[in-house]
Amino acid sequence: MRFIAILFLFLTVNSATAHDSSRYHHNWKVGLGITAASLAVAGAGGYCYLALDKPLSLLEVATLDPSDINPLDRSATERYSPAALTASHVFSYGSLALPFALLSMKQVRKDWLYMGFMYAEVGLLTFGITEITKAASGRIRPLSYNPSFALDVRVEAESRKSFFSGHTANSAAFCFLAARIFADHSDNKVAKALVWTGAATIPAVTGFLRYWGGKHFPTDIITGYIVGGAIGYFVPYLHRKRWKDDRLSVLPFGGLGSQAGLCVLYRL
pTM of the shown model: 0.83
Looking at domain 2-16+28-266, its CATH class is: mainly alpha
- For the chain, domain boundaries: 2-16+28-266
Instruction: List pLDDT tens digits, range 133-155.
Output: 999 999 999 999 999 999 999 99
Q: Alpha-carbon distance 124 to 121, whole Å?
A: 5
Q: Give the helix/strand (H/E) hosting 262.
A: strand 261-266
Closest CA to 34 of 103, 123, 108: 123
Q: Alpha-carbon distance 224 to 216, whole Å?
A: 10
Closest CA to 213 of 268, 264, 165, 261: 165
Instruction: List pLDDT tens digits, range 77-130.
Output: 999 999 999 999 999 999 999 999 999 998 888 888 888 889 999 999 999 999
SS3 percent helix, strand, coil of the chain, rounded to 5, is 70, 5, 25
